[in-house]
Structure 1
């Protein structure tokens, strides 16, 4: 896949399906900074020398060289990144879904009546087969209760505490360590060349903002995600506060991504990076802006070092981060670069030996 250089110049990403993967977890579940380290000779050392790496280098050269016909002024240098499956591991279940399920016991302890009410009774039972059969309405009920009813500060503290303790079942490491070293290097390389790097995710905006600065070097104001409503009020001492409400403002997935970009960023990206059908519209929106554009998709095809799923390329099918055959065809027709995790990345995680 090549960059396009014209001649003129918590969202709901298949939550029910994610829950169906619960049997893969032997049990129910601080952020660690892992910013890329680059060298003076190679800004992307975790990348193999291939078409994706060359496309990135060529794009940055073309858009930052004042002598180039595709030069982009500093104020217009915007790059957007999906998170789940693009910046960190999304299998076998989205991290925020794990968080919501883990929150049910604490919420039930505060509200004992929930212990006898569905769907909370099913979640508390630990019966994973029954949990996997919960309806979308049941899941929405769980999300509404576990992600609302507290101040935004309390929510942030609870997420931070959970992240410090929760471990991924495969690597037994904090989720915040399971970020992709090549993408960290890419984000840093773009920033070094004057780009602002935004996370545009189907995950919860408030959830990702808790750790985005420490993990990705992306400040909270540069996170665009699925957003719920808040209510302004006062605490018992008369101090103002915002309380999270079970009210959806933006579903930042599929077409919601370009909508969120317009609403919260106000500029069309020059480059966009994703990994699934949920990112298709973001790449389409980016590409049609004119001038030099770069669209890239991560293909998970390395079951030894991470996971392998598609179904594009004959990989196993999945509804958690689906990379469909239609998306692969569109990537070919539009000139988007497909990154093979197996072939294009020397290292996947920061904790691996260089």
Structure 2
């Protein structure tokens, strides 16, 4: 069965009643137990809910994993995965990572004796050299946020297995439709399901998929003990969003390819970061390990003033902190998604004050390009007037 058909025809075991084509929403906090000697499958919705279980079963199947888990946000999912570590443990992370992940591993988890070490994961020899006796896991983003760097997931996973480490991959940008890290050797996949999986800017959630029963038992314990679970209404919204994931991702990518090529031709743009461009250093690797390049583009302009003028004059994309929705969303990482990272560290990551990131929506790409073009013309006119 093709992936697109799986999305539409997914029929998880939980909640099948009366032939309903939509999974029922079990808006219940607790469940009656008909026998003390034989308690039911569900007793309290923190520990399990039929609607949430339907989502968890679906994402596990789509990622090709052993089990799935749904959390209240992407950061709740990532933080719960970090709870697999203990005091004295170290995790290696991509050195150009999402600001929320950076904040959690540098500000929160050190309180519990867990440290993060940042490394250029696109350089597998650097990854190998960075491993110490305290290292317990490698955390990857590929493509990275927002530099769109590509890490060889299969090779990084091989190195991790040789040293007895976990490989964790944030697959938010690619979704299981375009990339399946578990098939490349990873142990754990995380998603901010708020983004492409939800797809409509109307739900916050996080997902984790694991490759083995051993890890499943641990994450299941953490999910129940920590309690950062996704509610049934939000679980249902994500199930609904998943049904159109393929058609949305196909349109996101089609538009992104067109817009990235157009941006690369503009004199106002100093650099474009999109793995779908042949000149991108990770282009060939992305072709090898994924089925596409996704809908995320980053690019730089010549000055902060130009960034401000450009953003002020855009009319179509929303200026917002999220991504992965049907509408195009443009973000200024230095003050938005990566604002929690100290300025010096931000610049070392390539998150400069002239960098912009666009999550390309499913609108007509020509409309987005026309809007960008008029915003660039305004910059040009300001420059000419100043001169």
- Answer 1 or 2: higher relative contact order, Cα 8 Å, separation at least 6: 1
TM-score, structure 2 length as denominator? Answer: 0.28
Which protein has the larger Cα radius of gyration, Structure 1 or Structure 2? 2
